[in-house]
A and B are shown apart, each in its own frame.
Chain A
Amino acid sequence: VENVKLLDRYANRKAASGTLYLTATHLIYVDASAEVRKETWILHHHISSVEKLPLTTAGYPLLIHCKNFHVAHFVIGQERDCHDVFTSLLKLSQPVKPEDLYAFSYNPKMSKENREMGWKLIDLKLDYQRMGIPNDYWEITDINKDYEVCNTYPPKIVVPRAATRAVVMGSSRFRSRGRIPVLSYLYKENNAALCRCSQPLAGFSARCLEDEQMLQAIREANPGSSFMYVVDTRPKLNAMANRAAGKGYENEDHYENIRFKFIGIENIHVMRSSLQKLLEVCEMKSPSMSDFLTGLENSGWLRHIKAVMDAGVFLAKAVGEEGVSVLVHCSDGWDRTAQVCSLAALLLDPFYRTFKGFMVLIEKEWIAMGHKFSHRCGHLDGDPKEVSPVFTQFVECVWQLMQQFPCSFEFNERFLLQIHDHVYSCQFGNFLGTCHKEREELRIFEKTHSLWPFLLQRKQELRNPLYRGFTAYKELQPNTLPFSFQFWCGMYNRFDKGMHPKQCVLEQLLSLVSHKVTLEDDAAQLENKLPLLDGPLPSEGCSLPKAGSAAPRAP
Chain B
Amino acid sequence: TNEWRLSCVNKEFSVCSSYPPVVIVPKCVDDEALRKVALFRQGGRFPVLSYYHKKNGMAMLRSSQPLTGTNGRRCKEDEKLINATLRSGRRGFVIDTRPLSVAQQARAKGGGFEQEVHYPQWRRIHKYIERFNILQESFIKLVEACNDQSHNMDRWLSKLEASNWLTHIKELLTAACLAAQCIDRESASVLVHGSEGTDSTLQVTSLAQIILDPRCRTIRGFEALIVREWLQAGHPFQQRCAQSAYSNSKQKWEAPVFLLFLECVWQIHRQFPCSFEFNEQFLIMLFEHAYASQFGTFLGNNENERAKLKLPQKTMSLWSWVNRPEELSRFQNPLYEANILVIWPSVAPQSLQLWEGVFLRWNRPSRFLEEAEEERINIIKYNKELQAKVNTLRRQLAEMEADEEVQEEP
**Residues of A bordering B, CB below 8 Å:** 282, 287-294, 296-297, 300, 302-303, 306, 310, 404-408, 465-466, 468, 479-487, 489, 493, 496, 498-503, 505, 508-509, 512-513, 515-516, 519-520, 522-523, 526-527, 529-530, 533, 537-541, 553, 555
Q: Mark B339-366, 1 if CB is under 8 A from A, else 0.
A: 0000100101111111010001001110
**Any A CB within 8 A of the CB of B379:** yes
Q: Which of B28-36, B229-237, B315-323, B393-401 contacts A (4 or more CB under 8 A)?
A: B393-401
Whether the Cβ atoms of A303 and B270 lie closer than 8 Å is no
Q: Which of B368, B387, B389 contacts A406 (CB 8 A)?
A: B368
Instruction: Please list the 7 inter-chain residue pairs (A to B) with the smallest Cβ-Cβ separation, ordered nearest first.
Output: A482-B156, A292-B349, A526-B393, A406-B372, A293-B161, A297-B157, A538-B385
The CA-CA distance from A292 to B166 in the complex, in Å, is: 11
Whether the Cβ atoms of A468 and B348 lie closer than 8 Å is no
Whether the Cβ atoms of A526 and B394 lie closer than 8 Å is yes
Whether the Cβ atoms of B151 and A480 lie closer than 8 Å is yes
**Any A CB within 8 A of the CB of B134:** no
**Any A CB within 8 A of the CB of B146:** yes
**Any A CB within 8 A of the CB of B117:** no
The CA-CA distance from A480 to B397 in the complex, in Å, is: 57
Q: Which of B151, B270, B274, B382 contacts A508 (CB 8 A)?
A: B274
**Any A CB within 8 A of the CB of B386:** yes
**Any A CB within 8 A of the CB of B313:** no
Closest to B343 in A: A502
Question: Can you pick out 27 interface pairs between chain A and chain B where the beta carbons lie within 8 Å of each other?
Answer: A282-B350, A288-B349, A289-B166, A290-B167, A296-B157, A297-B157, A297-B158, A406-B371, A465-B375, A466-B372, A468-B375, A482-B151, A484-B364, A486-B353, A489-B351, A493-B350, A502-B271, A512-B380, A516-B383, A516-B386, A519-B386, A522-B393, A526-B397, A530-B396, A537-B389, A538-B385, A538-B386
B260-280: which have CB < 8 Å to A? 270-275
B142-169: which have CB < 8 Å to A? 146, 149, 151-158, 160-161, 164, 166-167, 169
Whether the Cβ atoms of A527 and B393 lie closer than 8 Å is yes
The CA-CA distance from A74 to B343 in the complex, in Å, is: 30
Q: A499-B351, A513-B379, A553-B403 are in contact. Are A302 and B368 (CB under 8 A)?
A: no
Contacts A481-B363, A483-B146, A516-B379 known; list 11 others, CB within 8 Å. Answer: A291-B349, A406-B368, A406-B372, A465-B379, A482-B152, A500-B351, A515-B383, A522-B390, A522-B393, A523-B386, A553-B403
Whether the Cβ atoms of B386 and A498 lie closer than 8 Å is no
Whether the Cβ atoms of A466 and B158 lie closer than 8 Å is no
Residues from chain A with a CB closer than 8 A to the CB of B386 are: 516, 519-520, 523, 537-538, 541
Residues from chain A with a CB closer than 8 A to the CB of B152 are: 482
The CA-CA distance from A288 to B171 in the complex, in Å, is: 9
**Any A CB within 8 A of the CB of B170:** yes
Residues from chain A with a CB closer than 8 A to the CB of B349 are: 287-289, 291-293
Whether the Cβ atoms of B375 and A466 lie closer than 8 Å is yes
**Any A CB within 8 A of the CB of B73:** no
Whether the Cβ atoms of A498 and B158 lie closer than 8 Å is no
Q: Which of B270, B273, B378, B393 contacts A523 (CB 8 A)?
A: B393
**Any A CB within 8 A of the CB of B242:** no
Nearest-neighbour CB distance to chain A for B96, whole angstroms, equals 21
Q: A407-B371, A482-B151, A526-B390 are in contact. Are A297 and B379 (CB under 8 A)?
A: no
Whether the Cβ atoms of B155 and A519 lie closer than 8 Å is no
The CA-CA distance from A555 to B407 in the complex, in Å, is: 9
Whether the Cβ atoms of A292 and B272 lie closer than 8 Å is no
| Range of interface residues on B (Cβ < 8 Å) | 35 or more
Residues from chain A with a CB closer than 8 A to the CB of B351 are: 489, 499-500
Q: A293-B161, A503-B272, A508-B335 are in contact. Are A529 and B364 (CB under 8 A)?
A: no
Q: A481-B363, A483-B363 are in contact. Are A499 and B348 (CB under 8 A)?
A: yes
The CA-CA distance from A118 to B176 in the complex, in Å, is: 54
Residues from chain A with a CB closer than 8 A to the CB of B379 are: 465-466, 509, 512-513, 516
**Any A CB within 8 A of the CB of B123:** no
Residues from chain B with a CB closer than 8 A to the CB of A484 are: 364
Nearest-neighbour CB distance to chain B for A534, whole angstroms, equals 8
Q: A482-B152, A530-B397 are in contact. Are A502 and B157 (CB under 8 A)?
A: no
Residues from chain B with a CB closer than 8 A to the CB of A406 are: 368-369, 371-372, 375
Whether the Cβ atoms of B368 and A407 lie closer than 8 Å is yes
Q: Which of A407, A486, A503, A512 contacts B275 (CB 8 A)?
A: A503
**Any A CB within 8 A of the CB of B330:** no
Residues from chain A with a CB closer than 8 A to the CB of B151 are: 306, 310, 480-482
Q: A297-B157, A501-B272, A512-B383 are in contact. Are A523 and B389 (CB under 8 A)?
A: yes
Residues from chain A with a CB closer than 8 A to the CB of B371 are: 406-407, 468
Whether the Cβ atoms of B274 and A503 lie closer than 8 Å is yes
Closest to A504 in B: B273
Whether the Cβ atoms of B403 and A482 lie closer than 8 Å is no
Nearest-neighbour CB distance to chain B for A9, whole angstroms, equals 9
The CA-CA distance from A303 to B382 in the complex, in Å, is: 42
Q: Mark B181-195, 1 if CB is under 8 A from A, else 0.
A: 000000000000000
Whether the Cβ atoms of B161 and A297 lie closer than 8 Å is yes
The CA-CA distance from A516 to B380 in the complex, in Å, is: 10
Whether the Cβ atoms of A289 and B170 lie closer than 8 Å is yes
Residues from chain B with a CB closer than 8 A to the CB of A493 are: 350
Nearest-neighbour CB distance to chain B for A432, whole angstroms, equals 33
Residues from chain A with a CB closer than 8 A to the CB of B397 are: 526, 529-530
Nearest-neighbour CB distance to chain B for A448, whole angstroms, equals 36
**Any A CB within 8 A of the CB of B310:** no
Closest to B383 in A: A512
The CA-CA distance from A300 to B153 in the complex, in Å, is: 8
The CA-CA distance from A538 to B354 in the complex, in Å, is: 38
Whether the Cβ atoms of B350 and A482 lie closer than 8 Å is no
Closest to B163 in A: A293
Q: A293-B157, A483-B360, A523-B386 are in contact. Are A509 and B350 (CB under 8 A)?
A: no
Q: A466-B372, A501-B271, A503-B272 are in contact. Are A292 and B335 (CB under 8 A)?
A: no
Residues from chain B with a CB closer than 8 A to the CB of A496 are: 348, 350
The CA-CA distance from A167 to B262 in the complex, in Å, is: 66
